[in-house]
Amino acid sequence: MPPPIQHACEPNSNAGRAELARVEPYSLRTFTPTQAVLSHSAGVYHWTPEGRRLYDFTSGVLVSNLGHNPNNWLSAYSRYMGWEGVSAPLPPPGFTAAVPMTAYNAITPVEVGATMRLLALMRAAPGGRRFEQVMWAASGSEAIQKALWASLALDRTRPMILATRFGFHGKKGLANAVTGSETDADRDPRVRFISFPMNECRDVTMRDDPFDFTPYQKELDALLHQFGAKIGTLITEPYLGGGGSYHPPAAYLQGLQRFCHQHQIIFIIDEVQSNFGRTGSMFAFETYGLEPDIVVLGKGLGNGIPVAAAVGRADIFGSLGYGEGSDTWSANPLCCAAVQATLDEFEARDVIAGMKSSSAIIERGLLALKELPFVAQVRGERGGMVWGVETRDHGDRTAGDWANALVLACYEGDGTSTDGIHLLGPLAKKVVRVSPPLVITSEEATAAIALMQRCAARLKS
- Same domain for 332 and 395? no
CA dihedral 105, 108, 110, 113 (to 10 degrees): 90
**Residue among 242, 235, 245 nearest 292 (CA):** 235
pLDDT score, position 185: 66
- Same domain for 374 and 343? no
- Same domain for 342 and 376? no
For 17-30, what is the mean pLDDT? 94
Task: Judge contact between 233 and 162, C-beta under 8 A.
Answer: yes
pLDDT in tens, 291-342: 999 999 999 999 999 999 999 999 999 999 999 999 999 999 999 999 999 9
pLDDT score, position 204: 77
pLDDT score, position 200: 83
The verdict on residue 85 lying in a domain is: no
User: Could you tell me the pLDDT band of residue 208, with boundaries at 50, 70 and 90?
Assistant: low
- Same domain for 330 and 358? no
The verdict on residue 78 lying in a domain is: no
Helix, strand, or coil (residue 163): strand
- Same domain for 344 and 356? no
Residue with the larger pLDDT of the pair 369 and 4:
369
Domain boundary among 322, 348, 374: 348
**Residues paired with residue 300 on neighbouring β-strands, in sequence order:** none
The verdict on residue 298 lying in a domain is: yes
The verdict on residue 391 lying in a domain is: yes
- Same domain for 219 and 274? yes
CATH of the domain at 321: 3.40.640.10
pLDDT score, position 205: 64
- End-to-end, the C-alpha distance of the chain in Å comes to 32
**Residues paired with residue 194 on neighbouring β-strands, in sequence order:** 164
- Same domain for 40 and 184? no
pLDDT in tens, 148-205: 999 999 999 999 999 999 999 999 899 999 999 988 767 899 999 999 999 887 787 6
- Same domain for 299 and 338? yes
DSSP string, 106-121: S--HHHHHHHHHHHHH
The verdict on residue 116 lying in a domain is: yes
- Same domain for 283 and 166? yes
pLDDT score, position 86: 65
Question: SS3 letters for 14-76?
Answer: HHHHHHHHHHCCHHHCCCCCCCCCCCEEEECEEECCCCCEEEECCHHHHCCCCCECCHHHHHH
The verdict on residue 81 lying in a domain is: no
Task: Judge contact between 259 and 219, C-beta under 8 A.
Answer: no
**Would the pLDDT of 461 be above 60?**
no
For 21-36, what is the mean pLDDT? 94
pLDDT score, position 35: 96
pLDDT in tens, 251-278: 999 999 999 999 999 999 999 999 999 9
pLDDT score, position 104: 92
Domain boundary among 315, 348, 381: 348
Domain boundary among 291, 320, 348: 348
- Same domain for 344 and 355? no
**Would the pLDDT of 105 be above 80?**
yes
- Same domain for 334 and 408? no
pLDDT score, position 206: 62
How many domains, the chain? 2
pLDDT score, position 93: 85
The verdict on residue 180 lying in a domain is: yes
The verdict on residue 84 lying in a domain is: no
- Same domain for 164 and 286? yes
Full domain range(s) for residue 35? 11-70+351-457
Going by DSSP bridges, is the β-strand pair 191-194/160-164 parallel, antiparallel, or unpaired? parallel
Cα separations (Å) of 79 from 35, 76, 112, 301, 400?
35, 5, 15, 18, 46
Cα separations (Å) of 307 from 121, 123, 299?
17, 20, 7
CATH of the domain at 357: 3.90.1150.10
pTM: 0.95
